[in-house]
Amino acid sequence: MDRKPRVDLPAGPPRSIAVVVPCYKHAAFLPEMFESILAQTRFPDEVIFIDDGSPDNSTEVMRSLFDAHPAPAGCRYSFLANPKNMGQAASLNRAISTASSDLVMILNADDYLMHDAVELMLNLFGKYPGVALIGAHSIHFAGSELPAEAKRLTTEYETAGLPLVVQRPDQVPGYRNYNDLIMTHTGSTFWKVAWEAVGGYRQKRERCVPFSDRDFQLRVNAVWPVAVDYETPFAFWRTDSTVDRGRES
């Protein structure tokens, strides 16, 4: 695993966060996904949606959702569409490159964020200076119905705090499996400058492990500390709707 030249992370707490939504053939799940953004206790500063050449009506659905729910003051909606399918890694890189926020949070189009995920991530990066990326657990489900579990975490964890485990760069050479660092892609959040420094998400032939999200996370961890909450679900992850498996996921 190659190491990029060291880049200093910002010294102070983050001031802004972008939620980036990559989409391929998931039009049916977009209203539910967008509902989880609209319900955030602290609205993101940017919502960046990218349609990766979907053969369904993802573009029309997302544009109608943006039109029906105008961005509140201080937030910017962005819509991007690839002229042809490029795969998730390339789509994420294109979308993230347009973000002007300090932090980037990933939200897959078929998943659902806990309603205080944005607020909690901003707070966590303020409490963990020097950490480049924070990830967490998720509640797995299948089918069209979200589980009945509560969709906010603040009340449950505001007293005890969140149980983050910090994994340092000197631990990375000891990893034996790519899931020695494990988190759900949806909800994972990182400094944009860290994404830039490690070269973003890689195409399949360039990765150190098969999956673009884990490859990116491992390369970040090779340079900076990464924190993971292995107990707290920050999102609901739909397990039966992947359409990019075996391509450029």
pLDDT for residue 72 is more than 70: yes
Token digits of residue 74: 């201080």
More confident residue, 4 or 165: 165
pLDDT for residue 38 is more than 60: yes
Indicate the domain borders of the chain: 17-238
- 17-238: CATH number: 3.90.550.10
Reported in sequence order, the residue ranges of the chain that DSSP labels E, i.e. its strands, are 17-23, 46-51, 76-81, 103-106, 112-113, 133-141, 164-167, 189-191, 226-238
Decide: 194 and 224 in contact? Cβ < 8 Å: yes
pLDDT for residue 143 is more than 90: no
pLDDT of 245:
46
Residue type, 216: F
What's the pTM? 0.94
Query: What is the 3-class SS of 132-168, one letter each residue?
Result: CEEEEEEEEECCCCCCCCCCCCHHHHCCCCCCEEEEC
pLDDT for residue 20 is more than 70: yes
Handedness of CA 137, 16, 95, 59 (dihedral sign): positive
Q: Which residues contact 243 (CB under 8 A, 6 or more apart)?
A: 24, 25, 26
pLDDT tens profile 95-140:
999 999 999 999 999 999 999 999 999 999 999 999 999 999 999 9
Handedness of CA 233, 116, 151, 237 (dihedral sign): negative
Query: Mean pLDDT across the stretch 63-68?
Result: 97
pLDDT for residue 197 is more than 70: yes
Radius of gyration of the chain (CA): 17
pLDDT of 156:
55
pLDDT tens profile 156-186:
555 457 889 999 999 999 999 989 999 999 9
DSSP state of 217: H
pLDDT for residue 198 is more than 90: yes
Decide: 52 and 24 in contact? Cβ < 8 Å: yes
Q: Which residues contact 127 (CB under 8 A, 6 or more apart)?
A: none
